[in-house]
């Protein structure tokens, strides 16, 4: 699930002690993971996540977030609403999706490329972000409606790069107080003013992650002990403060992410993991997922 108004260009301090992510095990072929999606506690849609070994050299992490009916006035800035409405009218549907794809080097677990799109279920992308690693540079291309900025270049960060609307599937090796940094983007969490794009501001944001709490959560009929991981825009904030929070994750002690919250202003988007059998049924019902292979991307 951010493409956000930048506050920090790239990680200025440290990468910290990052967890072991699901993509780190190149020999792993896990089943698809599915999520129920809620907006302010009301059912809004679903999401699918899947890891695929494309070859002996590359691994693909694909995610599709489907909104049955996205409340544009609540979640999008004014200048993007008109673009979104034009796209949905053309498609004859208010169903919207965020699709993301990330390619890594299987052996080294290093980023190769990624893309993220916001679009009607049927129709062209309204927002698209693409990134490619070239040497020690990360080259980005951003398109919003008819506005195109294809020439954004950044130093390649040491931190993980993630789409905040692509739920994490697994974070292993966590302990209380552990902290690290990530670089976040998403085509749905946009700057509040179009001048942020016109002025060429970088479509990334550094987030500071910390394992802040131990908690218990009921899932699949059982009460599970959890780590609560909080992603903030300011490393000076900590447990007990609700300021500057972008995401919260509830993670099983063994590493399985069971819940993820994305905060957009006053709104809460909550991803709740489905049991594996339900995830398989949803995956079978959507044979078009993933829709696009990386090689087909322009």
- Span 146-178, pLDDT tens digits: 777 777 888 887 778 888 788 899 999 999 999
- Span 76-96, pLDDT tens digits: 766 667 766 665 544 444 688
Phi-psi region of 158 (alpha: psi -120 to 50; beta: other; left: phi over 0): alpha
Task: Check residues 9 and 114 and name the one with the higher pLDDT.
Answer: 114
* pLDDT-derived band at 298, boundaries 50, 70, 90: very low
pLDDT confidence of residue 87: 54
d(CA 145, CA 138) in angstroms, rounded, equals: 23
- Span 191-217, pLDDT tens digits: 545 445 544 556 678 899 999 999 999
The token duo for 243 is: 């300021």
Q: What is the longest distance spanned by two Cα atoms in the chain?
A: 50
Mean pLDDT, range 62-75, rounded to an integer: 83
State the chain's mean pLDDT as an integer: 78
Q: For residue 262, what are the contacts with CB-CB under 8 A and spacing of at least 6?
A: 1, 2, 164, 165, 189, 246, 247, 268, 269, 270, 271
Q: What is the DSSP letter of 16?
A: B
d(CA 77, CA 73) in angstroms, rounded, equals: 8
- How far from each other are the two terminal CA atoms of the chain, in whole angstroms? 22
pTM of the prediction? Answer: 0.81
Cis peptide upstream of residue 80 (ω within 30 degrees of 0):
no
pLDDT at 131 over 80: yes
The token duo for 121 is: 């279920």
Residue 59 burial (CB < 10 Å; 0-12/13-18/19+)? buried
pLDDT confidence of residue 5: 27
Min mean pLDDT across 19-23, 152-156, 182-186, 189-193 is at: 189-193
Min mean pLDDT across 59-68, 73-82, 93-102 is at: 73-82
């Amino acid at each position: 699930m951010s493409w956000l108004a930048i506050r920090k260009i790239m990680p200025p301090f440290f990468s910290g002690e990052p967890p072991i992510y699901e993509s780190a095990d190149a020999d792993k072929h896990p089943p698809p993971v599915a999520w129920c999606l809620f907006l302010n506690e009301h059912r809004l849609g679903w999401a699918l996540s899947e890891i695929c070994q494309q070859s002996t050299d590359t691994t693909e992490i694909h995610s599709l977030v489907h909104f049955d009916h996205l409340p544009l006035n609540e979640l999008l800035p004014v200048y993007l609403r008109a673009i979104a409405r034009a796209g949905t009218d053309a498609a004859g549907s208010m169903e919207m999706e965020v699709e993301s794809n990330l390619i890594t080097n299987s052996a080294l677990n290093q980023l190769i490329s990624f893309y993220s799109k916001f679009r009607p279920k049927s129709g062209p992308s309204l927002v698209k972000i693409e990134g490619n690693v070239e040497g020690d540079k990360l080259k980005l291309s951003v398109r919003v409606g008819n506005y195109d900025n294809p020439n954004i270049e950044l130093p390649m960060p040491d931190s993980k790069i993630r789409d905040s609307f692509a739920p994490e599937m697994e974070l292993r090796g966590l302990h209380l107080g552990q902290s690290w940094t990530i670089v976040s983007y998403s085509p749905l969490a946009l700057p509040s003013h179009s001048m942020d794009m016109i002025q060429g501001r970088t479509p990334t944001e550094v987030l500071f992650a910390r394992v802040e709490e131990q908690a218990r959560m009921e899932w699949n009929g059982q009460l599970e002990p959890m780590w609560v991981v909080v992603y903030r825009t300011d490393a000076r904030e900590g447990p007990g403060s609700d300021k500057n929070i972008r995401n919260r994750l509830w993670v099983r002690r063994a590493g399985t992410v069971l819940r993820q919250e994305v905060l957009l202003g006053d709104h809460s988007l909550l991803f709740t993991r489905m049991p594996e059998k339900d995830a398989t049924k949803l995956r079978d019902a959507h044979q078009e997922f993933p829709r696009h292979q990386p090689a087909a991307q322009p």
